[in-house]
Structure 1
Amino acid sequence: MSDKRTRFETLAVHGGEPRPGADGSVVFPLFQGTVFEADSGDAPYIRLGTNPSQRHLEHRLAALEGAETAAATASGMAAITAALHSVLGAGDHLIAAGVFHGGTGRFLAEHAARLGWAYDLVDPGDPDAWRRALRPRTAALLTETITNPTIRVGDLVGAARFARDHGLASLIDNTLATPVVFRPHPVGFDLVCHSATKALNGHSDIAAGAVTGSRARIERVRSVLCAYGSALDPHAAFLLSRGLKTLALRVRQQNANALAVARFLAAHEAIEQVRYPGLAAHPDHGRAAAWFDGFGSVLSFRPVGGASAADALVKALRLPYAAASLGGVESLVTRVEADGHPDVPDDLIRFSAGIEAADDLVADFAQALGD
């Protein structure tokens, strides 16, 4: 099912599903095997990403992002690194627009030079900075839909257009938004990456990633995955495909919860700053309101009193788990500085809203703040 008029909730359940399913199944079965007999040509093989459970998941992922095809990966980092390897060679230059997820930032800092890549970090909302960063060997632009953990929304439409106008491959990490909130391909991005460990799966029980795009670009991504052995295990593919069925319901509840908590914190005298694009005071609220369907499930904030106050607040919360992930059905909270982000304030707290009742989450924050 790929009708553009189909609403996302329906697409999440039926998009990419074979009709009828194997032996009449409604739920596509798990193919755990690693070796298959070939009638002609190459047989399905797990490292190539051609196990039937892997391929089924990839059809589902492509449908949700509105792409020609997809590659499922062993983790979100496998997705972003394979995507970068597919568009960059020795001597090439990357424009990286944003303060990135810690793993992406560490990969560039520790491995780009060894691979022969140069890169510049630029403001995702400043097209002049992108132009200044251009070099003769600039080959790609990488950004995030919502930056993690600084929670900014760059000029996404402008970034895709800038890349196209200058012959660059455009890559975007859509993990924090999910295709429920924003679909990058229709505005012109070439490759869309996800840590599917997070909201796409939504149940904090697998590691997975995804890259979506055109068939030609995904074939290059798949070649990298095959070389590095980074394809997704079929059982994880089965679980992720199951998780996608409830994606729209989960994300919409998480978005509502995040907005409720953000509004409460923004009005509290013990909170110095709240970063959430659903708030009218957020510097990127206009962009988010124009392009997004919802504002995401993740916010960050700074309490009055600095790092010690941040530690005390995290410890005083009863519902969110103190854990460094996001996008699951359980609310999570973490001190970002302790999670490998040295370039952000040491009192910054990241909150990932789960699917609990919004009133209960707000009440928990109230008691943690001494109300």
Structure 2
Amino acid sequence: MSDDRNRFETLAVHGGEPRPASNGSVVHPIYQGTVFETAPGSSVDDVRYIRLGTNPSQRHLHDRLAALEDAEAAVATASGMAAITTALHSVLGAGDHLIAAGTFYGGTHRFLVEHAGRLGWSIDVVDPADHEEWRKALRPTTKAFLVETITNPLIRVGDLAGVARFAREHGLTSVIDNTFATPVVFRPHRIGFDLVCHSATKALNGHSDIAAGVVTGSAERIASVASVLSAYGGSLDPHAAFLLARGLKTLALRVKAQNANALAIAEFLASHQKVAQVTYPGLASHPDHARAASLFDGFGSVLSFRPVGGVAAAERLMKSLRLPYTASSLGGVESLVVRPAAVGGHSGATSVEAEGVAEDLIRFSAGIEAAEDLIADFAVALDT
């Protein structure tokens, strides 16, 4: 659990760290070994083994992640998709029903459409703000409710408190993908979510050099998630765990800088005559602005916009930008742009997933560059 006496910047540096440190080292070491001596009479919980997620480097990371998300426990996975799928596997079985709210990241959507049915799961997709749709979707076999904190790539914020409350009232496990917000902006356990997932490949690591995922929750729920993860062999390698734990130290500083940059770019684009639409919850014009302001500490590092001139203009704009890379990720120290309908996670999406994902929509993930330089770069590109 986190220590509420400390602000998040302090928690990011010290939360979950062992005291005293190993052999006096301020930096927790990498334990790369797969084999550890086990004392006679030990239980399976005492076994230290990479696939089980119980290597000392893995356990250190789990403690850090739990502290940041204000959870009892956490487990790290080999990717963000491993986090989502393992969390769902831990609560759904053959014949069970899932309510899924919103337009999801393409990988999540493809798993639900292409693989969940073969597992015997049924799914209803609902509006994340429409309580009546939730009630209509509810079945005797419904076991879980899945939602994204900020939807990808449409950048909408659903009634998250309502989702958590609805799930609790109906005995469902609430699962939320908190990747776009990070615990700097929002900690879903505080409003009643049961399982919180992240693609730690993104902002939690923040340096675009590892793939990882995270699931946090109560000790009992995470034990179930870890059991499924062990069976599927999707635990995170200790060296990647070390890099992720290191990245967490600067999480608060990076995310706050990214949030500030995203807001500055959103305001600039919203005032530019060559931009037809900007979607960012930090803008008062965003339909979910009031809800986001009441839930979040900041509005995230990702926005989407549509330039005047359609797809051709969008492609010319991205090619003209000097600072952002054209790449389909987010949350790193480098700014990125991508056209989701073409090359992002929503490429090849079905009509359900792609609803509202216009061909000329550009998603911008703010890095930590100077806002003035980013704005100047966009200004030149738009003029071009």
TM range (shorter): over 0.9
Corresponding residue number in structure 1 for 2:378: 365
One-letter identity of the residue aligned with 1:47: R
Corresponding residue number in structure 1 for 2:213: 209
Q: Deviations over 1:159-179 (max 9, x none)?
A: 000000000000000000000
Aligned counterparts of 1:291 and 1:77: Cα–Cα separation in 2: 25
SS in 2 for 1:77: helix
Contact 2:58–2:236 (8 Å) recurs in 1: yes
Aligned counterparts of 2:341 and 2:70: Cα–Cα separation in 1: 35
Corresponding residue number in structure 1 for 2:32: 32
Q: Deviations over 1:88-130 (max 9, x none)?
A: 0101110000100110001001001100000011111111111
Q: Which of 333, 355, 360 lines up with 2:337 in the alignment? A: 333
Corresponding residue number in structure 1 for 2:146: 142
Is 2:294 the partner of 1:290? Answer: yes
Q: Which of 360, 366, 369 lines up with 1:356 in the alignment? A: 369
Aligned counterparts of 1:324 and 1:58: Cα–Cα separation in 2: 27
Corresponding residue number in structure 2 for 1:45: 49
Is 2:25 the partner of 1:21? Answer: no
Q: Which of 148, 151, 165 lines up with 1:161 in the alignment? A: 165
Corresponding residue number in structure 2 for 1:11: 11
Aligned counterparts of 1:258 and 1:175: Cα–Cα separation in 2: 16
SS in 2 for 1:108: helix
Contact 2:72–2:217 (8 Å) recurs in 1: yes
Q: How does 1:1-371 map to 2 (within 5 A)?
A: 2-39=2-39, 40-42=42-44, 43-338=47-342, 339-341=344-346, 342=349, 343=354, 344-370=357-383
SS in 2 for 1:192: strand
Give 1:3 shift: 2.0
SS in 2 for 1:143: strand
Contact 2:30–2:242 (8 Å) recurs in 1: yes
Aligned counterparts of 2:3 and 2:358: Cα–Cα separation in 1: 45
Give 1:5 shift: 2.4
Contact 2:203–2:332 (8 Å) recurs in 1: yes
Aligned counterparts of 2:317 and 2:130: Cα–Cα separation in 1: 34
Give 1:352 shift: 0.3
Give 1:16 shift: 0.1
One-letter identity of the residue aligned with 2:293: A
Aligned counterparts of 2:314 and 2:16: Cα–Cα separation in 1: 44
Aligned counterparts of 1:364 and 1:110: Cα–Cα separation in 2: 40
Query: What percentage of aligned pairs have identical amino acids?
Result: 75
State the aligned residue count.
371
Calculate the aligned-residue CA RMSD, in Å: 0.9
Gap change, CA 1:203 and 1:340, over 3 Å in 2: closer
SS in 2 for 1:5: coil
Give 1:224 shift: 1.0
Contact 2:205–2:247 (8 Å) recurs in 1: yes
Aligned counterparts of 2:271 and 2:129: Cα–Cα separation in 1: 27
Give 1:4 shift: 1.2
**Structure 2: which 5+ residue stretches go unaligned?**
none
Contact 2:2–2:71 (8 Å) recurs in 1: no
One-letter identity of the residue aligned with 1:46: I
TM-score by length of 1: 0.99
One-letter identity of the residue aligned with 2:381: A
Contact 2:206–2:331 (8 Å) recurs in 1: yes
SS in 1 for 2:359: coil
Q: Deviations over 1:64-83 (max 9, x none)?
A: 00000001000000000000
Contact 2:322–2:377 (8 Å) recurs in 1: yes
Aligned counterparts of 1:2 and 1:308: Cα–Cα separation in 2: 49
Q: Deviations over 1:227-281 (max 9, x none)?
A: 1110000000000000000000000000000000000001111111111000000
Compare 335-344 and 93-102 and name the one that shifted more.
335-344
Aligned counterparts of 2:287 and 2:43: Cα–Cα separation in 1: 54
Give 1:340 shift: 4.0
SS in 2 for 1:333: strand
Moved over 6 A (4+): none
Q: Deviations over 1:212-231 (max 9, x none)?
A: 00011111111111111100
Aligned counterparts of 1:73 and 1:360: Cα–Cα separation in 2: 36
Q: Deviations over 1:282-339 (max 9, x none)?
A: 0000011111000000001111111111111111111000000000000010011012
SS in 2 for 1:253: helix
Aligned counterparts of 2:230 and 2:291: Cα–Cα separation in 1: 38
TM-score by length of 2: 0.95
One-letter identity of the residue aligned with 1:41: S
Compare 130-139 and 202-211 and name the one that shifted more.
130-139
Aligned counterparts of 1:91 and 1:364: Cα–Cα separation in 2: 52
